Amino acid sequence: MNIMPIAISVVIPVYRGQYSLPILLAEFAKLPGVNKSPNGVDYVIKEILLVYDCGPDDSDKTIERLAKEYSVVRPIWLTRNYGQHPATLAGMASSTGDWVVTMDEDGQQNPVDIGKMLDLALSKSLQIVYARPINPPPHGNIRNICSNFSKRIALKFLGSKYKDGVFNSFRLIDGEIARVLAAYCGDGVYLDIGLFWIAGRIGHCSVQLRAEGRPSNYSFLMLLNHFWRMVIASGTRPLRIITMAGFFSIILALFLFVFAFYGKFYSNTSVQGWTSILVIMSFFSGLIMVSLGIVAEYLAMTMGILMGKPLYVIASSPSRSAKK
């Protein structure tokens, strides 16, 4: 009895891929029609979904040319720039494969590693496999340190279940999970946090990163915004930090009260009333403002979901005006 090879859908969000995309697609073209993983599992790259996210270069023309050159390429045209995660979700929603692979356009990730990730998923019955780089990402040391630190903070918010987790844009996802998440994930949700909502069996596969084919698209402010969305989307755990800080503030206020009371009536310490009032008012005012800011972030995200704000909109053709 012939067993059909496993169908893989590859999703690549495209922002500035005018020059790197042809190189990456040429690598896919070198793969045989039916590939064998290191463990001998047959799989086929069923489709490569290039999601055009309205970047500043001529990536749209490159995608159109690649679609004519390779029958496996399927273009997806977004109406404006939505960002990497919404673009990835747009591709996931349009996928049809048994498994969905997400990867970047810059050439860091090697298509050959897909077989290794598939072997790990099948052997351990995993729903998601993240690539775990064995070498540092080809960025600056400061950015790599900040990136690792931010991910560890987010994983703390997710709980001990994911304490050993590693986020990476190179992922192998069960096709049903990918499409369900794309259907229900609302605006403002960090993609990997959303995946953790609906997947319980997550693993990591060691891979070697390559040098980027172009400079990174992310500025410091964009990375900071990325991190903040990750924290907000992680659930109610950040609010627990504020709750603990509130308890600490109450204990501190009681301590200051006892200290001032003792100094006033049982020692010769001079207590200036206006000084203690100013310090306490400043401390608690700042705490209230931080608390209200985080609550407001949650309310804003919730209202965006309830009002039906679209995460992405797919058009029938690329819009050149979206670059303006």
pLDDT at 270: 65
Instruction: Please state the domain extents for the chain.
Output: 6-217+311-323, 237-306
For the stretch 75-85, pLDDT in tens is: 999 999 988 88
Average pLDDT value for residue range 71-77: 96
Separation of CA 174 from chain center: 17
pLDDT level of residue 34 (50, 70, 90 thresholds): very high
Q: Mapping DSSP to helix (H, G, I), strand (E, B) and coil, where does residue 238 land?
A: helix
For the stretch 254-267, pLDDT in tens is: 676 676 676 666 77
Q: Give, in order, the Cα–Cα distances in Å from 164 to each of 22, 140, 168, 171, 195.
A: 35, 23, 13, 16, 16
Q: What is the DSSP letter of 5?
A: P
Average pLDDT value for residue range 231-243: 60
Q: What is the DSSP string of 174-227?
A: EHHHHHHHHHH--TT--HHHHHHHH---EEEEEE-----SS--S--HHHHHHHH
Average pLDDT value for residue range 178-186: 84
Residue 47 scores a pLDDT above 50: yes
Run of H or E including 59: helix 59-69
For the ranges 28-32, 73-77, 105-109, 235-239, which has the lowest average pLDDT? Answer: 235-239
Per CATH, the homologous superfamily of domain 6-217+311-323 is Spore Coat Polysaccharide Biosynthesis Protein SpsA; Chain A (3.90.550.10)
Q: What is the rounded average pLDDT for all residues in the chain?
A: 78
> Does residue 48 contact residue 72 with C-beta atoms inside 8 Å?
yes
Which residues 6+ apart lie within 8 Å of 255 measured at CB?
Answer: none
Hey, what are 288's tokens? 């209230």
> Does residue 81 contact residue 53 with C-beta atoms inside 8 Å?
yes
Average pLDDT value for residue range 188-198: 79
Q: What is the DSSP letter of 134?
A: S
pLDDT at 63: 96
Residue 116 scores a pLDDT above 50: yes
Hey, what are 124's tokens? 């351990």
pLDDT at 324: 42
Q: Which residue has the tokens 């997400």?
A: 102
Separation of CA 108 from chain center: 17
Q: Which of 27, 24, 45, 26 is nearest to 35 (CA)?
A: 45
pLDDT level of residue 184 (50, 70, 90 thresholds): confident
pLDDT at 100: 97
pLDDT at 240: 61
Exposed / middle / buried, residue 281 (Cβ in 10 Å: 0-12, 13-18, 19+): exposed
Pairing outcome for strands 128-133 and 202-207: parallel
pLDDT at 279: 61
For the ranges 61-75, 150-164, 191-205, which has the lowest average pLDDT? Answer: 150-164
- The whole-model pTM stands at 0.72
> Ranked by mean pLDDT, which of 85-94, 139-148, 222-231 comes out on top?
85-94
Residue 232 scores a pLDDT above 50: yes
> Ranked by mean pLDDT, which of 72-76, 148-152, 232-236, 314-318 comes out on top?
72-76
Pairing outcome for strands 128-133 and 73-78: unpaired
Residue 319 scores a pLDDT above 60: no
Average pLDDT value for residue range 170-186: 89
